[in-house]
């Protein structure tokens, strides 16, 4: 009886190990195929409807946008193009919004813990607050040298060199090292 149990355990352990190693070899094979590009067709199905880059030039109703230091796109703009400027929110306001967000998350967790088996337990998606406030801008805010994001509706612009923008989003300028106060070491007294 004891020998039967021991033999059964050994056979089960060997089967489990064999399955594990077989699964790992298939995983490694599929990863190597993806890295070699043999299975790159999944990326060709991805549609691009927004791009970010540096403004090289602004001429009337066209913006020359440089992407990745080598690719240029011509972005057409008109009075229908929405321009937004992102500004950092007041830290106190953002902190208040985050506290409210965490409160809602906790309330949701508490209500779900009261009804763990109920399929109809209320599940509401709670969105985290935005770090930036979105202010309405104008085409005049678009200057050469700034970084911006262009959004296009209903068109895949992955390989298109010229297209019409429906939205342009201008992020806040990057923080320069001169605006950061120096670190003053504490004295050991």
User: What is the residue-level pLDDT of the chain in tens, covering all 189 positions?
Assistant: 666 666 555 655 555 555 555 455 444 444 433 333 334 444 567 889 999 999 999 998 999 999 988 899 999 999 899 999 999 888 999 999 999 999 988 888 877 776 665 555 455 677 889 999 999 999 899 999 999 999 998 889 988 999 999 999 999 877 665 556 666 566 555
pLDDT value, residue 60: 84
What's the pTM value of the predicted model, to 2 decimals? 0.60
pLDDT value, residue 188: 55
Q: Which CATH number fits domain 50-89+132-174: 2.60.40, 2.40.50, 3.10.50, 3.60.60?
A: 2.40.50
- Determine how many CB atoms are found less than 10 A away from the CB of residue 63: 24
**Is residue 53 within 8 Å of residue 73, measured between CB atoms?**
yes
Cα 177–Cα 146–Cα 59 angle in degrees, nearest 5 = 155
Helix, strand, or coil (residue 23): helix
Question: E strand or H helix at 89, and its extent?
Answer: none
Give the separation between CA 9 and CA 32, rounded to whole angstroms: 35
**Is residue 74 within 8 Å of residue 161, measured between CB atoms?**
yes
Cα 148–Cα 152–Cα 158 angle in degrees, nearest 5 = 90
**Is residue 64 within 8 Å of residue 74, measured between CB atoms?**
yes
Domain boundaries, the chain: 50-89+132-174
Give the separation between CA 58 and CA 60, rounded to whole angstroms: 7
């Amino acid at each position: 009886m004891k020998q039967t149990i021991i033999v059964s355990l050994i056979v089960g352990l060997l089967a489990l190990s064999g399955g594990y190693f077989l699964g790992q070899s298939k995983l490694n094979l599929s990863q190597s195929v993806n890295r070699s590009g043999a299975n790159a067709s999944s990326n060709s199905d991805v549609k691009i409807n927004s791009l970010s880059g540096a403004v090289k030039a602004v001429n009337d109703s066209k913006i020359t946008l440089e992407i990745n230091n080598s690719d240029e796109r011509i972005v057409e703009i008109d009075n229908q193009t929405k321009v937004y400027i992102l500004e950092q929110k007041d830290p106190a306001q953002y902190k208040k919004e985050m506290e409210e967000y965490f409160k809602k998350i906790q309330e949701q967790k508490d209500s779900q813990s009261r009804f763990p088996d109920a399929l109809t337990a209320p599940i509401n998606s709670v969105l985290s607050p935005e770090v930036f406030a979105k202010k309405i801008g104008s085409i005049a805010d678009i200057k050469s040298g700034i970084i911006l994001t262009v959004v296009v509706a209903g068109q895949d612009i992955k390989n298109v060199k010229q297209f019409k923008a429906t939205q342009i989003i201008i992020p806040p300028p990057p923080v320069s090292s001169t605006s950061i106060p120096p670190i003053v070491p504490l004295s050991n007294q």
